[in-house]
Structure 1
Amino acid sequence: MLYDLFQVSLKAGEEILDVYAHDFDVEFKEDDSPLTQADQRAHQAIVAGLKGVGGEIPVLSEEGKEIDYQERKDWDQFWLVDPLDGTKEFIKKNGEFTVNIALIEGKYPALGVIYAPALDEFYFGSKEKGAFKLVDASKAVIANEEDLLEKSIRLPEVKQNDVTNVVASRSHMSPETEAFIEELEGKVEVVSSGSSLKFCLVAEGKADYYPRYAPTMEWDTGAGQAIVEAAGGKVTRHEDGERFYYNREDLLNGWFLVSKT
């Protein structure tokens, strides 16, 4: 299944980059904007691809979020998808936007993939296989899952040192995040990245913590959580320290903390 999701992600990435390659000036996500075009084209590519991977497994996507809770509340398994995560990064053209796909089983992510098309980096993880990163993903010769695993780097890659690295938003630092950093002992450095790549920094071992004390949606976090957990990390709710879960009636996430161990 990971190989199939790799192919689906590459296809979605192609659709996004086709739009991204052209000059555009957009401030908001309006109908027929380049951002909306990229979203929709990636969404269509992913949904079509997942039909060939998971058969009848339903899809909950940012571009298809109108599915009523009464319809989805009894789902045992579903795909959680953000076709294009990182609106600001896409508009700024800094390359730090991603395609996110997670398989949720029993309200928790069982596997997830994150592809950064402009960076051509593919992150993936499952509870059975562990977590991995493939660089130059679109150029790699990958014929099956065995190839994918063999040619990828197992995560975490970075070993522990005497500095605590914290991922913070590129756009702004909230007072709560500042307070979290101040409470840490020893030398602390702040690293930043866009979109779900923040999760990937923790999975790689390049960051120890990613405190998210601001709103996100379920499709923003499912794939990242799967990869972090596959790398031995945790994603916990701020209010009670419990494991983050999915398919809630309200798809708006509460605050959470991503930690390397």
Structure 2
Amino acid sequence: MNENLKIAIKASLEAGEAIMKVYDTAFDVEIKDDKSPLTEADKRANDIINSHLKPTNIPIISEENKQTYYSVRKNWDTCWVVDPVDGTKEFIKRNGEFTVNIALVSNQKPILGVIYVPATKVLYLADVSLQQAYKVELTSHDTDYDIIIEKAQQLTNEPVNQKLIRVVGSRSHMSQETLDFMEGLKNGGSEVEIVSKGSSLKFCLVAEGKADVYPRFAPTMEWDTAAGQAICNAIGIEVISKETDKPLLYNKENLLNPWFLVSK
């Protein structure tokens, strides 16, 4: 397996263990300048991930790092894209639907991806060049690499049942654009079912075949999506920008993503 993917896996598991130690305490919540929440778990996980990734000498874009100016970043042909705790709001709610996201991007495209779900010890990993993605159910954050490979179940891109299309969305607050999208599916003769998850687990639902399409018509940042896109792309599922009608790109001047659609 790719050495950088091994490093990302180890970093995600160690970060996940640190996150759960905070999860089980009465933690404080700070509000950042962009109004998003921050906890001790975000900080600890970020430090751990940085400690693993820095020795690769590949630059890092992380939600919790100070962002490098684009005048420097534009010269990076390869970089890590990291969200130490994706779904901090889910973490604060203690519903378990938060993840560690680590992706390696080359020429603005994700080539490796790891998503770890600390609360359930479920790991997703992908190597886009090999067109392979896997799901692994662990019993410990401290699991040997050989055991991870032994337990890994390969994900496959199953065909969509056009009669029933499962759409990833919020059950409680759906945007008008998403409602319009679903209405279009219904007008095309499909029955629509809504499936809901927090964080980058939305990508995993589609990759696992538990959902068929994920319309995201709301703001996200590159670190929210890079690992999920790698996992989807590795099994032939596209993540298409609604702005360009082409795959989402990374290490852009503006790290804010356009709206996008994940579909088979």
The normalised TM-score by structure 2 is 0.89
Q: How does 1:128-139 map to 2 (within 5 A)?
A: 128-136=130-138, 138=140
- Which residue of structure 1 aligns with residue 222 of structure 2? 218
Write the deviation string for residues 230-251 of structure 1: whole angstroms up to 9, x where unpaired. 1220000112311110111111
Determine if the alignment matches structure 1 residue 43 to structure 2 residue 46. yes
Write the deviation string for residues 6-40 of structure 1: whole angstroms up to 9, x where unpaired. 211110011111111113464x5359xx9421111
Distance 2:17 2:142 in 1: 15
Q: How does 1:245-256 map to 2 (within 5 A)?
A: 245-256=249-260
Determine if the alignment matches structure 1 residue 89 to structure 2 residue 93. no
Shift of 1:137: 5.4
- The runs of 5 or more residues in structure 1 that have no matched partner are none
**Contact kept? 2:14, 2:141, Cα under 8 Å:** no
Shift of 1:155: 0.9
Identical positions, percent:
53
- Which residue of structure 1 aligns with residue 177 of structure 2? 176
**Contact kept? 1:101, 1:223, Cα under 8 Å:** yes
**Contact kept? 1:96, 1:119, Cα under 8 Å:** no
Secondary structure of 2:11's match? helix
Distance 1:131 1:123 in 2: 7
Distance 2:255 2:157 in 1: 32
- Which residue of structure 2 aligns with residue 12 of structure 1? 15
**Contact kept? 2:157, 2:236, Cα under 8 Å:** no
Secondary structure of 2:15's match? helix
Distance 1:215 1:170 in 2: 18
- Which residue of structure 2 aligns with residue 71 of structure 1? 72
Distance 2:247 2:152 in 1: 28
**Contact kept? 2:215, 2:260, Cα under 8 Å:** yes
- Which residue of structure 2 aligns with residue 197 of structure 1? 201
Shift of 1:151: 1.4
When structure 1 is superposed on structure 2, of 121-130 and 71-80 the one drifting more is: 121-130
Count of aligned pairs between the two proteins: 254
The normalised TM-score by structure 1 is 0.90
Distance 2:139 2:230 in 1: 20
- The runs of 5 or more residues in structure 2 that have no matched partner are none
Give the 3 Å change call, closer, same or farther, for CA 157–59 of structure 1 in structure 2: same
